[in-house]
């Protein structure tokens, strides 16, 4: 099925609602890097063509080797196909996999979360499940064919949620239809999670990197709601990146925390202005 859908050029999109609600500053308080994997961001290609990919997860698992692994998740989702590939890779790992949702596991990230034999979620965190979401153009025959493919894909996802939780497939499909946010305690009640995560395992770290991510996600959400296709949005962000490099000191989620949680690095000031102008033109102003 994966090959069939991708052969039509279909790419799954992040839900603008999930992206808008995602807080990239929520991370694990302590990470034992010798046996943990962090999924803090977009699944598949993000704004700059990077993001969390199965290639990256493969590399991390090779480094960990034949040991148990803990996967920390705070992600708005992304490419569902990449999420399924990561799910399968984690399921194939030789030792126990524990998955932990710190802030959000939406869409493709919720699929990855299901790979854990033990699945913990913070009481303040959310899973978000929904039907495959995309933007595309074509004639009625093409759109009808893609709709049929997406229906099969959604059914497969409902089956997976059902098999993991023990809930009826119909109930899971209804939650997907409603694009449902499921709080931590409810996720445990439904069987999607096996337990709650201790509050002291979570911290909110404001860094230059998370500030830039917040700015990027705000731009992406606005452009997506305005109807701009993902490919065009990625080209726009690539232009920003090549034309205005990051400020010195930015880089990884381990960067020194800042006491200015709303700070935006200088390189995105021009980007935000350009995005605002573009949005105004899209609205006919």
| Collapsed DSSP state (helix, strand, coil) of residue 204 | strand
Mean pLDDT of the chain: 81
Tell me which of 15-24, 73-82, 256-265 is least confident: 256-265
**Rounded to an integer, what distance in angstroms lies between the CA atom of residue 103 and that of residue 82?**
20
Distance (Å, rounded) from C-alpha 285 to C-alpha 282?
8
Note the pLDDT tens digit of each residue in 204-238: 988 888 888 888 878 777 777 777 776 777 777 77
- Output DSSP code: residue 202: E
Q: What is the pLDDT of residues 106-149, one digit of tens each?
A: 999 999 999 999 999 999 999 999 998 776 777 888 888 888 88
For residue 256, give the DSSP letter.
P
Catalytic residues: 107
Indicate the SS3 state at residue 119: strand
Domains of the chain: 2-203 (3.90.226.10), 206-282 (no CATH)
Helices marked H in 103-183: 108-113, 140-165, 169-177
Question: Is residue 12 over pLDDT 70?
Answer: no
Q: How high is the pLDDT of residue 17?
A: 85
As a whole number, mean pLDDT of residues 44-55 equals: 81
Q: What is the pTM of this model?
A: 0.78
> Residue 179 pLDDT > 90, yes or no?
yes
Dump the DSSP string for 92-132.
T-SS-EEEEEEEEEETHHHHHHTT-SEEEEETT-EEEE---
**19 CB burial (10 A radius; 0-12, 13-18, 19+):** buried
CB 149 within 8 A of CB 5: yes
- Which DSSP category does 201 fall into? G
């Amino acid at each position: 099925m994966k090959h069939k859908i991708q052969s039509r050029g279909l790419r799954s999109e992040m839900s603008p609602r999930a992206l808008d609600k995602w807080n990239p500053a929520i991370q694990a308080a302590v990470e034992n890097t010798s046996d943990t994997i962090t999924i803090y961001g977009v699944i598949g290609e993000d704004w700059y063509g990077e993001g969390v990919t199965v290639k990256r997860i493969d590399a991390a698992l090779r480094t960990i080797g034949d040991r148990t692994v803990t996967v920390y998740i705070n992600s708005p989702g992304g490419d569902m196909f990449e999420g399924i590939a990561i799910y399968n890779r984690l399921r194939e790992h030789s030792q126990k996999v524990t998955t932990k949702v710190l802030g959000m596991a939406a869409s493709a990230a919720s699929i990855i979360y299901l790979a854990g034999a033990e699945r913990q979620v913070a009481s303040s965190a959310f899973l978000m499940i929904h039907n495959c979401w995309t933007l595309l153009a074509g004639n009625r025959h093409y759109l009808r064919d893609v709709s049929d493919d997406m229906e099969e894909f959604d059914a497969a996802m409902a089956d997976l949620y059902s098999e993991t939780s023990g809930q009826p497939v119909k109930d899971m499909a209804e939650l997907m239809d409603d694009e449902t946010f499921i709080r931590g305690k409810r996720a445990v009640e439904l069987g999607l999670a096996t337990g709650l995560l201790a509050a002291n395992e979570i911290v909110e770290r404001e860094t230059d990197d998370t500030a830039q991510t917040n700015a990027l996600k705000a731009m992406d959400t606005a452009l997506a709601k305005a109807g701009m296709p993902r490919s065009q949005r990625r080209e726009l962000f690539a232009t920003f990146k090549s034309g205005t490099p990051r400020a010195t000191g930015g880089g990884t989620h381990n960067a020194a925390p800042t006491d200015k949680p709303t700070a935006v690095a200088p390189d995105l000031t021009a980007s935000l202005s350009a995005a605002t102008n573009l949005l105004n033109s899209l609205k006919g102003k």
